[in-house]
Chain A
């Protein structure tokens, strides 16, 4: 190649490199950081930063990530766990998140929140985004996108999020610049800590169920979760959290019980065992009984821990090689809990949850 052509080629190459750099910088600026009011979008990506091993993996929606405290499970019982939860997580997404996690580690037990079974298909694009954007690229992420996306969504918008979030240019805030390079963790091994209190309230009358059957597609992915666990030698536990609303219908309960019996799976319905959990809806919920606050989550975790050990051989992780990581997590958890308690005591609400 002549010198002119070579120089020309190099200059063109530089132009392309600069262009792609600018493209990715713009993309980084425009994607939502989930560091402000809505934190749930950050949860999925935080999993990859966890250096420690986990013996229990929780999958599901807010019934796991707001109701169970992995810190309590470790501190008091030595159970090492992580909640791969996200807002309105579909069973299909739970399955792909499980396969994704298995690329990194193999837990002894998977706990699947059955409340998600009522949601066969996604209703809002933002839930898909919050669950899937944080996933590392793999064939599971691609499959999760293909199986979850709404008709108005495009796979290319997941590959290049700039195409989806470009309109945020007119809404950029200080958060987008402050967290441009990296975002600190906002959850505690996937747990969304809230120390505010709002006692139980009256709920609207639940409409009668038009179709009592849980969606077929939910069963399809529960089957895949079960088969995956069987293949990997992982114990699968089906779990129902003690949320008072939306109503968990008897028809659904029956179907899950039948499924559990058919496949010999343990099923734990803490809603039916409310007294044993010790939960007091006057103090242990932050939204009037829909979700637990940190006090409720810790109580539920204490209830759950012995039961988890009934079904799987979970070692005591305290004092092992990753002790430092766990202690750092506990410290951060206690500090955040204290900060929120103080803020709630002072002004009656909590300004931010991270």
Chain B
């Protein structure tokens, strides 16, 4: 069921009524059934894959828990300590590791197959010169059923795979005991607001909220509604409107000079931000209606003064996942240690410190890029971000000396410059996502050496993209978005909303609702564009 549809608000309303009017003990079941119903809207086959993820990780976690319990019982019985304890634990740890590997293999295997099979097949075909692979995929064989385009990517598979896998990894590390109640665990995995586009929640932060009963609180419902409407406004007033501009300018980029390319990339950045943060606002707002607080996924990323800072504020739950479950384990793995030893021996300490870090970083950013899209463009996007980050790190001592030498680098003006610089770098690297890779060097060349700002005024701007009032609306709503960004630096918009009187709150909700209804891009004549991140 799409978040932008007539059925979603109706579904939400019915669920809310049942949730608060029904018995408090039944709230979990109501949410679980609602989540299944929500997910069923995307097709019954998708539900099968979701159930597979739930059951496999649930049962494997239980098994891991049993092994741990047996090992602890044995140690306690025999009063083992030190080396004896480690030796006694070894077979149990090995089995726990086996269950973990099995769980990760099954779930990530399913994700890789469903999301990346075309990419893998096409590249294998190129590598081994297999010409007729497309015919095979279009036919009526088992090959075409499995590898053809008929088998669609289940909604939210990247999110629930990451979330359930994180749970499994945490269980294997004994961070918590496995959830015994299958229904509660299922709700953790498939809780409907977050399944479409995150955030990826930790078990220990979400489960207690899903387990405890929630009384109706007007503040939760009103602030949840406010957040949702704000999200709809970002998505429907800004993102869907600016996407038309992006499409027009990126269709045949070689015909445009630098100023239009700059406009295109900044528009794309605006689109990504409004679309993704709008979606997250809807998700967090919807969860808040039920008294559930999901983790924030954005923290004013365009107020960042460096790319590193940016990535600590953008899609925070995904970055946290990669950091905790890929980067740190990689950095502390035997491979990294071997690399470090080798480079220390042959190239010295400086190399020994850097190479494992570079290795882990490249792998993490490769995966980050690949997660975002099954194409070389996305992979290059990830790797190019990694290069810039590592370069920044290497140049960090130089930057520090520069700042010490020139005090004006602490002024607001310089901070503003750093923010703009970060925005530009982010936008430039985003080009890998939506322009053909081969065209990018040329486009960068046009951007820096053929800017021609006066082209904007000589009538060469593509006409018919939007009507005059739509341009004005886009500019006004973007200005409002920037203004709310500044406002929410000191205090979140939600907090400011809750400070208002009852009439003030209702007025804000009413105005937001009417703005979305009247000015939003939806309905006939408009592309029913779903959130960009729904494809993950």
Which residues of A approach B to under 8 Å, CB–CB? 8, 11-12, 14-16, 18-19, 22-23, 26, 30, 125, 152-154, 156-157, 162-164, 166-167, 169-171
Residues of chain A with a CB closer than 8 A to B526's CB: 167
A-B contact pairs, 25 of them (CB 8 A): A8-B502, A12-B506, A15-B502, A16-B506, A18-B510, A19-B510, A22-B514, A26-B517, A30-B518, A153-B524, A157-B523, A162-B517, A162-B518, A163-B6, A163-B523, A164-B523, A166-B518, A166-B523, A167-B523, A167-B525, A167-B526, A169-B519, A170-B467, A170-B470, A170-B473
0/1 interface trace, chain B 457-493, chain A, CB 8 Å (1 if under): 0000000000111100100000000000000000000
- The residue on A at minimum CB distance from B510 is A19
The listed residue (A8, A14, A19, A166) touching B520 by CB distance below 8 A is: A166
Give residues of chain B (317-345) contacting chain A, Cβ–Cβ below 8 Å.
none
| Most chain B beta-carbon neighbours within 10 Å: one of A12, A154, A163, A166 | A166
Task: Please name 11 further chain A to chain B contacts, defined as beta carbons within 8 Å, in addition to the given A125-B524, A162-B518, sorted by A numbering.
Answer: A15-B502, A15-B506, A19-B506, A19-B513, A26-B514, A30-B518, A157-B523, A162-B517, A169-B518, A169-B519, A171-B467
The listed residue (A26, A164, A170) touching B469 by CB distance below 8 A is: A170
Are A154 and B6 in touch, CB under 8 angstroms? yes
Q: Does B503 contact A (CB under 8 A)?
A: yes
**Complex Cα–Cα for A14 and B6 (A):** 27
Give residues of chain B (272-323) contacting chain A, Cβ–Cβ below 8 Å.
none
Are A11 and B502 in touch, CB under 8 angstroms? yes
**Complex Cα–Cα for A18 and B520 (A):** 21
Give residues of chain B (110-136) contacting chain A, Cβ–Cβ below 8 Å.
none
Residues of chain A with a CB closer than 8 A to B514's CB: 19, 22-23, 26
Are A11 and B510 in touch, CB under 8 angstroms? no
Given contacts A169-B518, A170-B470, A164 and B502 within 8 Å (CB-CB): no
DSSP majority for the B interface?
helix
Closest Cβ of chain A: how far from B1's Cβ, in Å? 14
**Complex Cα–Cα for A167 and B518 (A):** 7
**Complex Cα–Cα for A170 and B524 (A):** 15
Residues of chain B with a CB closer than 8 A to A170's CB: 467-470, 473
Q: Does B45 contact A (CB under 8 A)?
A: no
Residues of chain A with a CB closer than 8 A to B517's CB: 26, 162-163, 166
Residues of chain B with a CB closer than 8 A to A157's CB: 523
**Complex Cα–Cα for A22 and B514 (A):** 9
Closest Cβ of chain B: how far from A4's Cβ, in Å? 11
Q: Does B507 contact A (CB under 8 A)?
A: yes
Residues of chain A with a CB closer than 8 A to B519's CB: 166, 169
The listed residue (A22, A162, A166) touching B510 by CB distance below 8 A is: A22
**Complex Cα–Cα for A154 and B469 (A):** 27
In the A-B complex, list the 8 residue pairs whose CB atoms are closest, starting with the nearest: A15-B506, A170-B469, A19-B510, A166-B518, A170-B467, A156-B6, A11-B503, A169-B518
Closest Cβ of chain A: how far from B155's Cβ, in Å? 22
Residues of chain A with a CB closer than 8 A to B467's CB: 170-171
**Complex Cα–Cα for A163 and B526 (A):** 13
Are A152 and B469 in touch, CB under 8 angstroms? no
Residues of chain A with a CB closer than 8 A to B518's CB: 26, 30, 162, 166, 169
Residues of chain B with a CB closer than 8 A to A125's CB: 524
Residues of chain B with a CB closer than 8 A to A167's CB: 523, 525-526
DSSP majority for the A interface?
helix
- The residue on B at minimum CB distance from A19 is B510
**Complex Cα–Cα for A12 and B218 (A):** 13
Closest Cβ of chain A: how far from B477's Cβ, in Å? 13
Residues of chain B with a CB closer than 8 A to A11's CB: 502-503
Residues of chain B with a CB closer than 8 A to A152's CB: 524
**Complex Cα–Cα for A153 and B6 (A):** 11
| Most chain A beta-carbon neighbours within 10 Å: one of B473, B510, B518 | B518
- The residue on B at minimum CB distance from A22 is B514
Closest Cβ of chain B: how far from A150's Cβ, in Å? 9
Closest Cβ of chain A: how far from B501's Cβ, in Å? 9
Closest Cβ of chain A: how far from B70's Cβ, in Å? 58
| Most chain B beta-carbon neighbours within 10 Å: one of A19, A30, A152, A157 | A19
Residues of chain A with a CB closer than 8 A to B473's CB: 170
**Complex Cα–Cα for A167 and B513 (A):** 15
0/1 interface trace, chain B 504-536, chain A, CB 8 Å (1 if under): 001100100110011110011110000000000
Closest Cβ of chain B: how far from A283's Cβ, in Å? 41
Residues of chain B with a CB closer than 8 A to A8's CB: 502
Closest Cβ of chain A: how far from B249's Cβ, in Å? 21
Closest Cβ of chain A: how far from B334's Cβ, in Å? 58
Residues of chain B with a CB closer than 8 A to A23's CB: 514
Closest Cβ of chain B: how far from A15's Cβ, in Å? 4
**Complex Cα–Cα for A170 and B502 (A):** 33
Residues of chain B with a CB closer than 8 A to A14's CB: 503
Give residues of chain B (424-473) contacting chain A, Cβ–Cβ below 8 Å.
467-470, 473
- The residue on B at minimum CB distance from A12 is B502
Residues of chain A with a CB closer than 8 A to B507's CB: 15
**Complex Cα–Cα for A169 and B518 (A):** 7
**Complex Cα–Cα for A19 and B517 (A):** 13
Are A12 and B503 in touch, CB under 8 angstroms? yes
**Complex Cα–Cα for A15 and B500 (A):** 14
**Complex Cα–Cα for A225 and B463 (A):** 51
Closest Cβ of chain A: how far from B536's Cβ, in Å? 27
0/1 interface trace, chain B 169-185, chain A, CB 8 Å (1 if under): 00000000000000000
Are A164 and B506 in touch, CB under 8 angstroms? no
**Complex Cα–Cα for A205 and B338 (A):** 83
- The residue on A at minimum CB distance from B519 is A169
Residues of chain A with a CB closer than 8 A to B510's CB: 15, 18-19, 22
**Complex Cα–Cα for A22 and B473 (A):** 20
Residues of chain A with a CB closer than 8 A to B506's CB: 12, 15-16, 19
Closest Cβ of chain A: how far from B185's Cβ, in Å? 37
Residues of chain A with a CB closer than 8 A to B503's CB: 11-12, 14-15
**Complex Cα–Cα for A26 and B510 (A):** 13
| Most chain A beta-carbon neighbours within 10 Å: one of B470, B502, B514, B524 | B524
